[in-house]
């Protein structure tokens, strides 16, 4: 059975561990810089195993090297947003711990899922400081955004969520690019089911979904949704499933862009990102995508 290492045992990290265990993806090794947090949460979740019926093992450690020996690494470490904060406000706070983790993985064959915000900037930073091939480091951005849009479409139409497909690319921020022509319900384009103003309203709700949760919860940002999405991505790697998921990846020529990380659909397998897919974009979508990349390049240029 594969081992899943999770760096950071806060709300996102702990829920990742729980979802991974329940789905039987692999054994989990939790780590946190706060002494005892990961071991305590791991024990709590294992005591729930007889009730929930999972046989996977969750263990905690205060030694990061234990977690780094895992096959797949999920990075959730770092500060979380407070009401009124933008994701990029966390860059200076979180880049040092993420950079230190990345440096420890130089020369390894790890597959890394970056959840720490701002996820696109952290994904690019992780590739730079680890030296890992870009396909082995993927950020959660577009997968989470697409999951949120799937829920909103299903809720709007009162249909089963498993029948809804949606794709969101670009930056994990209000600059994200939902692709209407890749959003369907059991194969039927949403443009056939909803008027343009309702489609745009759903896209706008998706752009604001993370901010809304932070504003409503006050003391916590989203964690169930990100944890579930990270678990699905880890499962796609471990099972070598070939699923197509929008993930943040360092661009090496896609749409003429280089060096920044943003979400595009990708085939996920045992090596991480096996292939990046370039969707067909109209002029407006291309402009939004390129503009978001330029914004990220400006921020990275200060590092």
Strand, helix or coil at 158?
coil
**Which 3 state secondary structure label does DSSP give 271?**
coil
Q: How far apart are CA 92 and CA 217, in angstroms?
A: 24
- Measured between alpha carbons, how far is 4 from 23 in angstroms, rounded to an integer? 12
Rounded-to-integer distance, Cα 279 and Cα 254, Å: 10
Any alpha helices (H) in the chain, and if so which ranges? 11-23, 37-52, 64-68, 91-104, 119-130, 141-157, 196-207, 209-217, 224-238, 283-300
Establish whether 172 is a catalytic residue. yes
Task: Name the active-site residue from 155, 172, 192, 258.
Answer: 172
Q: Which residue has the tokens 């234990």?
A: 66
Contact between residue 255 and residue 290 where contact means Cβ atoms under 8 Å apart: yes
> DSSP string covering 22-33, please?
HHT--EEEEE-S
Question: In terms of Cα–Cα distance, which of 206, 222, 176 is closest to 81?
Answer: 222
For the sheet containing 188-189, what is the strand order?
Answer: 164-165, 184-185, 188-189
Contacts of 39 (CB under 8 A, 6+ apart): 30, 59, 60, 61, 62
The kind and range of the H/E element at 264 are strand 258-269
- Residues annotated as catalytic are 172
């Amino acid at each position: 059975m594969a081992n899943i290492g999770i760096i950071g045992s806060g709300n996102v990290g702990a829920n990742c561990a729980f979802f991974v265990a329940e789905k039987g993806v692999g054994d989990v090794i939790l780590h946190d810089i706060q002494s005892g947090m990961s071991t305590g949460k791991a024990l709590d979740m294992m005591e729930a195993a007889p009730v929930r019926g999972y046989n996977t093992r969750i263990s905690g450690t205060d030694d990061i090297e234990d977690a780094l020996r895992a096959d797949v690494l999920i990075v959730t470490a770092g500060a979380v947003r407070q009401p009124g904060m933008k994701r990029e406000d966390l860059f200076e706070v979180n880049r040092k711990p993420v950079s230190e983790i990345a440096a420890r993985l130089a020369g390894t064959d790890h597959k890394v899922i970056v959840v720490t915000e701002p996820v696109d900037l952290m994904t690019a930073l992780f590739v730079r400081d680890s030296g890992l091939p870009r396909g082995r480091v993927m950020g959660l951005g577009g997968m989470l955004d697409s999951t949120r849009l799937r829920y909103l479409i299903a809720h709007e139409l009162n249909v089963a969520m498993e029948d809804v497909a949606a794709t969101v690319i670009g930056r994990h921020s209000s600059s994200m690019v939902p692709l209407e022509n890749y959003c369907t319900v059991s194969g039927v384009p949403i443009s056939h089911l909803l008027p343009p103003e309702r489609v745009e309203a759903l896209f706008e709700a998706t752009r604001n979904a993370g901010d809304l949760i932070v504003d409503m919860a006050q003391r916590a940002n989203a964690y169930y949704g990100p944890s579930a999405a990270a678990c699905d991505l880890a499962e796609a790697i471990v099972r070598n499933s070939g699923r197509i998921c929008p993930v943040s990846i360092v661009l090496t020529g896609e749409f003429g862009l280089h060096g920044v990380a943003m979400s595009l659909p990708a085939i996920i397998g045992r090596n991480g990102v096996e292939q990046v897919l370039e969707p067909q974009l109209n002029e407006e979508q291309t402009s939004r995508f390129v503009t978001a990349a330029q914004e990220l390049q400006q921020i990275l240029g200060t590092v």
